[in-house]
């Protein structure tokens, strides 16, 4: 789990901060920070998935198949 | 009830609360919620959620329609709403796995719709979801607020504690973990969830992040590790949608398959011959038609064969059983057949749900949610009287406090099922016989019908309460 913690710490640097939250629930600092990390991971995954798709279509001649496959892989990335 | 009464569980949210006035349920909306209320209507979100069956419909009560203008719940309110009534309020610790899962997915679907309409769920409490006319829906229309750009999801932790944590424990641990929800009024703490889950769940991305890492992050930033300044963070709307999709994904993947428990295979066992079963079904159906109850509780309902006799007549029917597998099977069947009048629920009658929460008033006990018109107690009494040693006098008092009419099956000692209960223990039940049963129950009830079930030593009674509550 060390790599994930390290990744989380690195990602924390890339997330902006402002806006105070006033709600009747205590959203809990830890939960807010985790949402930032998950959002960054999701963003990164979409970013990488996009490049991965381009890379694969560059090397592949079977364009139709690639499109189908890349759609599959991007949908599994959206798990984040 | 003549006077006005604020509903005891409705005090946390400053946007408004529920109150009962002249036996009608109202929701007061405070001035503070005005802009959110307008947004809910103007954005089309209210209409959309009603159309999808995800929110309880309400009507606005005009000044002419409210019976008492002097009432302090009415004065100074921004609006007073009259929500459609949910006849029976159930709680997450009374739901089967798929019920909790459907409630979780309903919550996430509402959040998804809300984000599309520039709004957000400000809370994600499982107590805000109820099963009504066969659907899991949100009963608290004040849960939706205008989304402020950059705001994180305040209810993320609550969602994980109320839904994802218990569901993961039920799926990967033991389905009986659902009962943990009754110990923790605001959901199961995530550090406890994380400790109880098997290690393999750390290798599933969704469970790792939303539960294990979430628990660790909460611990890291807890009161024991105070931060020098208040942490505020902007999360884009797109990110909130991603997080919501991730939660939908992880909840959808969680599975539990009921099998191998004592009761789930009951009807395929040999406790009844086909003739006896047919006779009993015909009798219960006739009793229902004669009494025409508005509400029925089927206690010890198993997978709901007899409950359906009532629900198929359009009677609001609640089918209680102690076995999570039975409740799950019953729920899955009712969902498949889109049954609108049947709600299966988990209940241990030897230890029914108690009153919980602040001042023991937030969540009602089972008995507080009665009485009802009719109770079915079929093939039940021997379990309470013999397996659980409850004296017949106590049983008679219990049923008399619950219902106007009682359909009860007396299962005598010579019945093979009772014989099997007595096989491994000493028979200390000298008073357990038909004569004594009648003597005790007729103190509270009159016997309207008494029928020997054909091909069986059992007797079916239709009893009418002498002094219904």
Asked if the peptide bond before residue B148 counts as cis, ω within 30 degrees of 0, the response is: no
The distance of B137 to chain A (nearest Cα, Å) reads 21
Using the structure block, give the residue that is written with the tokens 């929500």: B83
Reading the block at residue B146, the tokens are 């205008």
The distance of A62 to chain B (nearest Cα, Å) reads 30
**Reported ipTM exceeds the 0.85 cut:** no
Kindly list the residues from chain B whose CB atom is less than 8 angstroms away from the CB atom of residue A22.
none
Give the nearest chain A residue to B125 (CA atoms): A25
Confirm or reject contact between A48 and chain B (CB < 8 A). no
The distance of A9 to chain B (nearest Cα, Å) reads 11
Give the nearest chain A residue to B123 (CA atoms): A25
Domain ranges of chain A: 27-80
* Closest of B267, B306, B327 to residue B408, by C-alpha: B306
Confirm or reject contact between A49 and chain B (CB < 8 A). no
* C-alpha span between B247 and B260 (Å, rounded): 30
CB contact under 8 A, A19 and B245: no
The second-level CATH assignment, the architecture, of B266-465 is 3-Layer(aba) Sandwich (3.40)
Identify the pLDDT of residue A74: 40
Kindly list the residues from chain B whose CB atom is less than 8 angstroms away from the CB atom of residue A14.
none
- Distances B322 to B77, B81, B100, B351 between C-alpha atoms, Å: 43, 37, 16, 10
Identify the pLDDT of residue A11: 43
State the count of interchain CB pairs (< 8 A) between A and B: 123
Q: Give 10-residue mean pLDDT values along chain B (469 residues).
A: 76 91 92 96 98 97 83 89 95 98 98 98 97 96 95 96 98 96 96 98 96 96 70 84 95 88 55 84 97 97 96 97 95 96 97 95 95 97 94 97 97 93 88 96 98 95 94
Identify the pLDDT of residue B266: 57
Reading the block at residue B245, the tokens are 């999709």
Burial class (CB in 10 A: 0-12, 13-18, 19+), B278: middle
CB contact under 8 A, B156 and A25: no
B144-186 pLDDT, tens digit each: 999 999 999 999 999 999 999 999 999 999 999 999 999 999 9
Identify the pLDDT of residue B123: 95
Q: Which of A20, A30, A37, A40 to mutate to test the interface with B (most CBs of B within 10 A)?
A: A30
Identify the pLDDT of residue A47: 82
| Residue-level pLDDT, tens digit, chain A, 80 residues | 544 554 444 444 444 333 344 567 787 889 999 999 998 888 888 788 888 888 888 887 655 544 444 444 443 333 33
The distance of B178 to chain A (nearest Cα, Å) reads 23
CB contact under 8 A, B218 and A32: no
Give me the residue from B155, B231, B240 closest to A29, CB to CB. Answer: B231
Burial class (CB in 10 A: 0-12, 13-18, 19+), B141: buried
CB contact under 8 A, A8 and B156: no
B22-80 pLDDT, tens digit each: 889 999 999 999 999 999 999 999 999 999 999 999 999 988 888 887 888 888 899 99
Do the beta carbons of residue B111 and residue B120 sit within 8 Å?
yes
Identify the pLDDT of residue B469: 81
Do the beta carbons of residue B375 and residue B296 sit within 8 Å?
yes
Give the number of other CB atoms < 10 A from CB of residue B41: 11
Q: What is the DSSP track for B215-235? A: HHHHHHTSTTS--SS------
Give me the phi and psi of B89, to 5 degrees please: -90, 125
Contacts of B207 (CB under 8 A, 6+ apart): B168, B172, B197, B201, B250
Kindly list the residues from chain B whose CB atom is less than 8 angstroms away from the CB atom of residue A41.
209
Confirm or reject contact between A31 and chain B (CB < 8 A). yes
Kindly list the residues from chain A whose CB atom is less than 8 angstroms away from the CB atom of residue B245.
78-80
Kindly list the residues from chain B whose CB atom is less than 8 angstroms away from the CB atom of residue A44.
none
CB contact under 8 A, A36 and B235: yes
- Distances B8 to B15, B21, B353, B355, B364 between C-alpha atoms, Å: 16, 14, 17, 11, 9
Confirm or reject contact between A4 and chain B (CB < 8 A). yes
């Amino acid at each position: 789990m060390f790599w994930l913690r390290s990744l989380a710490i690195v990602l924390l640097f890339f997330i902006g901060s402002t806006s105070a939250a006033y709600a009747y629930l205590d959203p809990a600092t830890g939960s807010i920070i985790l949402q930032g990390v998950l959002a960054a991971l999701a963003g990164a995954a979409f970013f990488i998935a996009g490049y991965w798709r381009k890379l694969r279509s560059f090397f592949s001649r079977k364009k139709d198949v690639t499109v189908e496959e890349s759609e599959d892989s991007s949908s599994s990335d959206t798990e984040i | 009830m003549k006077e006005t009464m604020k509903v005891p569980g409705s005090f946390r949210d400053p946007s408004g609360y529920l109150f009962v006035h002249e036996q009608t349920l109202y929701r007061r909306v405070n001035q503070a919620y005005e802009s959110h209320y307008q947004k809910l209507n103007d954005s089309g979100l209210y209409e959309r959620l009603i159309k999808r069956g995800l929110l309880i419909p309400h009507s606005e009560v005009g000044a002419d329609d409210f019976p008492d203008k002097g009432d302090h719940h009415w004065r100074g309110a921004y609006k007073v709403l009259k929500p459609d009534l949910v006849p029976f309020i159930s709680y997450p610790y009374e739901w089967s796995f798929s019920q909790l899962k459907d409630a979780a997915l309903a919550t996430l679907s509402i959040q998804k719709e809300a984000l599309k309409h520039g709004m957000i769920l400000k809370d994600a409490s499982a107590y805000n979801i109820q099963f009504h006319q066969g659907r899991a829906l949100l009963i608290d229309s004040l849960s939706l607020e205008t989304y402020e750009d950059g705001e994180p999801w305040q209810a993320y932790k609550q969602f994980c504690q109320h839904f994802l944590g218990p569901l993961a424990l039920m799926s990967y641990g033991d389905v009986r973990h659902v009962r943990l929800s009754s110990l923790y009024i605001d959901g199961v703490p995530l550090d406890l969830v994380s400790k109880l889950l098997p290690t393999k769940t750390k290798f599933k991305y969704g469970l790792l992040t939303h539960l294990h890492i979430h628990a660790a992050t909460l611990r890291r930033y807890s009161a024991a590790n105070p931060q020098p300044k208040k942490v505020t963070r902007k999360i884009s709307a797109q990110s909130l949608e991603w997080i919501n999709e991730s939660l939908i994904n992880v909840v959808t993947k969680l599975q539990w398959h009921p099998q191998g428990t004592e009761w789930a295979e009951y009807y395929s066992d040999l406790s009844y011959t086909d003739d006896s079963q047919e006779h009993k079904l015909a009798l219960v159906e006739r009793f229902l038609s004669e009494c025409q109850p508005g509400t029925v509780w089927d206690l010890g309902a198993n997978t709901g064969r007899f409950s359906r006799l009532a629900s198929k007549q359009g009677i609001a029917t609640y089918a209680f059983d102690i076995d999570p597998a039975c409740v799950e099977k019953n729920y899955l069947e009712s969902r498949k057949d889109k049954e609108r009048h049947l709600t299966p629920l988990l209940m241990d009658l030897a230890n029914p749900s108690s009153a919980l929460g602040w001042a023991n008033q937030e969540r009602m006990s089972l008995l507080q949610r009665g009485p009802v018109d009719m109770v079915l107690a079929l093939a039940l009494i021997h379990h309470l009287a013999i397996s659980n040693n409850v004296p017949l006098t106590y049983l008679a008092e219990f049923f008399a406090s619950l219902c106007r009419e009682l359909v009860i099956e007396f299962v005598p000692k010579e019945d093979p099922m009772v014989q099997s209960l007595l096989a491994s223990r000493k028979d200390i039940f000298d008073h357990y016989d038909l004569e004594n049963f009648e003597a005790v129950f007729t103190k509270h009830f009159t016997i309207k019908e008494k029928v020997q079930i054909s091909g069986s030593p059992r007797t079916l009674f239709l009893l009418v309460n002498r002094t219904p509550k």
